[in-house]
Amino acid sequence: MFPDRVGRVVLDAVVDPTAFSGAYEAFVRSTLVDTESVLDGFARACEERAAASSPDGCLLASLKTPTRPTVLSVLRGGLTDLDAAPIVLGAAPITLLTGNEGSQQLFAVLYRPAMWAAAADAFYALLDPAQRDPMPLARLIGVVPEDDPSVFCPAEDESGVNASHAVECADGAPWDGITMEDVEALASEAETGLSPLIGRLFVYWGRICAHWPRPVERYAGPWNATLSNKVVLIGNTNDPITPLASARATEALMNGNAVLVTQRSYGHGSLAQFSLCTVQMLQRYFIDGTVPASGTVCDADVPIFKSAAAGADADSSVEAAAMRRGAEEVARFVAKANRRGGLARLGLFV
């Protein structure tokens, strides 16, 4: 809106603006592109950790059977089992943990590789037939408040779900003429063609836009205004909700006014897996105004299934350690905001 007043701006975890401001089916098709590859990465990382150390390295791998020979099949089969035999949570009110709820929580886990090791243990406790214990996962995700584990369904809504819908419904195209049959068809397409884990639920989350008040005006492009400074875009190679393809599409739409930095990592946004290369690039950009070269690629420095704190010894540089601590602090702030905003509770995106 004011291209001549753009300072130093970074867009991390980028959505395709054409799809986001267009029909909902376009947004769905553009955003769940890499969800299953991230889920596969989580499952493979568990198997590799178990094989490299011992089964105790990732207990979830110990649930493999001849009919469920991989961690991925253990997860999918376990979620199906929860639909057939839900777990009863709490006493008043009673809440059922079904496969749908389990899928939402697994989707939320994919956002943060730093919690994958703990999440694997939590899903082991949940899916182990001898335990069927939902509490480790509930505490990890934040469904159950740490100070009152008896509250599974708090009366006060702190999820901020309406805020997410307000943005999505106001920025997207009107749902005029879309029927429930259309929604069901899109849900089936998303489930079978995009993400069996979350595709159907993702479509259902958006259907509230059919009833949401329309804004007086909304912006739907163009996206190629000449800016006073180039914008830096950051895209992960394995992001469960904002795929790298969206960042590439945005760079093309901005017609030379943006530069894309690709980070080879898992999770939602560059903060999900620490990269010294990315942090140093941001430092140069914000402090000195140095725009990264086109085609810049950064690698993550924290391995999957290893917390950022545990990986700190990988680089003894005082500067790198300070940057890592700063990135971790920002990541904690974002995670806290996401919990308050409903992402951790419902798997919603930001």
pLDDT 10s per residue in the chain (350 long)? 688 899 999 999 999 999 999 999 999 999 999 999 999 999 999 999 998 876 668 999 999 999 999 999 999 999 999 999 998 876 555 577 889 989 999 999 999 998 999 999 999 999 999 999 988 887 887 655 555 555 555 555 555 566 778 888 999 999 888 899 999 999 999 999 999 999 999 999 888 898 888 888 999 999 999 999 999 999 999 999 999 999 999 999 999 999 999 999 999 999 999 899 999 999 999 999 999 999 999 999 988 876 433 443 444 454 456 566 666 666 665 566 555 544 433 333 33
Q: What is the distance of C-alpha 57 from the center of its chain?
A: 24
pLDDT at 165: 82
Residue 96 tokens read as 């059922």
**How many whole angstroms separate alpha carbon 170 and alpha carbon 19?**
14
Which H or E run contains 125?
helix 116-127
Q: Are 75 and 38 in contact (CB under 8 A)?
A: no
Instruction: Give the single-character DSSP code of 4.
Output: G
- Listed in sequence order, the residues at least 6 apart from 53 whose beta carbon sits closer than 8 Å to its beta carbon are none
What are the CB-based long-range contacts (under 8 Å, 24+) for 87-92? 87/126, 87/132, 87/134, 89/134, 89/138, 89/152, 90/150, 90/151, 90/152, 90/153
How distant, in Å, are the alpha carbons of 69, 91, 115, 145 from that of 44?
12, 37, 15, 30
pLDDT at 79: 95
Residue 92 tokens read as 């008043």
Q: Are 321 and 312 in contact (CB under 8 A)?
A: yes
Q: What are phi and psi of 88, to 5 degrees?
A: -85, 125
Q: Say which amino acid occupies 326.
A: G
Cβ count near 241 (within 10 Å): 26
pLDDT at 88: 81
- Listed in sequence order, the residues at least 6 apart from 49 whose beta carbon sits closer than 8 Å to its beta carbon are 57, 58, 61, 117, 305
pTM: 0.84
The single residue listed with the structure tokens 């912006």 is: 219
Q: Regarding beta strands 95-97 and 231-238, do their DSSP bridges make them parallel or antiparallel, or are they unpaired?
A: unpaired
Q: Are 347 and 195 in contact (CB under 8 A)?
A: no
pLDDT at 328: 67
**How many whole angstroms separate alpha carbon 257 and alpha carbon 318?**
35
